[in-house]
Amino acid sequence: MNNESTLTSLGMLRVNLDQKNRKDYLEYLVPFATYILSKYDKGPINNKNFRNMIKEEFGLIIPLNVTLRVLQRLVNRKLDY
């Protein structure tokens, strides 16, 4: 991850935690995830593909386990993207 994407990532995290009183670091990835999923063709997706799309679109490198947890969170919310 380069310095610019690191700064963006940390900035998003800080704003999300401050403004929405969220205590969960995974929650700041939800807007990125919903954006990516809205561009996807509604077929099955796995955490590896999802991680690659986030990297390509935003330059963020996220561990596989984290991407899996974010996707599980969206499924539990029954998010209709």
CATH number of the domain residue 69 falls in: 1.10.10
Is residue 69 within 8 Å of 26, Cβ to Cβ? yes
> Against a cut of 0.85, is the pTM above it?
no
Integer Rg of the chain from CA? 12
CA-based nearest residue to 40, from 1, 66, 79: 79
Total tally of structural domains belonging to the chain: 1
User: What is the residue-averaged pLDDT of the chain?
Assistant: 78
Report pLDDT digits (tens) over 49-69.
999 999 898 888 888 988 999
Structural domain of 36: 3-76
The pLDDT of residue 22 is 59
Report pLDDT digits (tens) over 36-45.
888 887 778 8
Is residue 34 within 8 Å of 79, Cβ to Cβ? yes
